[in-house]
Amino acid sequence: MWLHAFGALLQRDLRLALRKPGDVANPLLFFIVAAALFALGISPVQSILAEVAAGVIWVIALLSALLALDGLFRSDFEDGTLEQMMLSPVPAPILVLAKITAHWLVSGVPLIACSPLLAALLALPASAYGALAATLALGTPVMSLVGAIGVALTVGLRRGGALLALLILPLYVPVLIFGAHTVDAAGLGLPVYNLFLLLGAMLVLALTLAPVAAAAALRITIG
């Protein structure tokens, strides 16, 4: 029953997202345009760009994820669907995890797919391309999971975007630091196994705690 409810809600949210292609494209366009602006504004010298490429890409990915977060629960909150979800016999964390998964599939996966293009644009060493995609594959779900807690706390506010940023950005810092450092280390040919383990541990911790915390926050918001 729980698995069926998870799959049904996931399919529903994906269908709704595909009906609004602008909401899907905006974070991706921001990701690409911001990277191009950094490349133009920092320096045309490839060696200088390569030194900051990992950090720049990760910061832009973080901001793109934040840009897409506000709509995670808002439409369901406004039409009453969210309240029905909280009253469902299916545990709320399962339903919240389905919504987070759908959000990541339409916002995080396109960023991962575009990351080699931006890596080339910012002159990142080719040896770090795989590490960049892998760190984003581990880090973007963490940002969606942690961000869901902030969205759940602010979804009832008309202008909760600024408050959401204040709540969430400090929690993104560890992912940003280890993600960028892993890419830099891979570009220099240094071992990155332990860094990937740390990112994996963050993902497991977020998967374990974030849906429960977000569900509790939604009950408080709706309550």
Each residue's pLDDT tens digit in the chain (223 positions)? 678 888 888 898 888 888 877 777 888 888 888 888 888 888 777 788 888 889 999 999 988 888 878 778 887 777 777 888 888 888 889 999 999 999 899 888 989 998 888 888 888 888 899 999 999 999 999 999 999 998 888 887 766 566 777 888 888 999 999 999 999 999 888 899 999 999 999 999 999 999 999 999 888 877 6
Burial class (CB in 10 A: 0-12, 13-18, 19+), 193: exposed
- pLDDT at 22 (0 to 100): 72
On whether the CB atoms of residues 100 and 59 are closer than 8 A, the answer is: no
Q: What is the pTM of this model?
A: 0.91
- pLDDT at 161 (0 to 100): 65
On whether the CB atoms of residues 159 and 81 are closer than 8 A, the answer is: no
- pLDDT at 160 (0 to 100): 59
What size, in residues, is the chain? 223
Say which residues have a Cβ less than 8 Å from residue 82's Cβ, sequence separation at least 6. Answer: 73, 76, 155, 218, 222
Tally of CA atoms within 13 A in the half-sphere of 22 that contains its CB: 0
On whether the CB atoms of residues 193 and 178 are closer than 8 A, the answer is: no
Angstrom distance (rounded) from CA 215 to CA 199 = 24
On whether the CB atoms of residues 124 and 50 are closer than 8 A, the answer is: yes
Of 27, 47, 57, give the one whose Cα is nearest residue 181.
Answer: 57
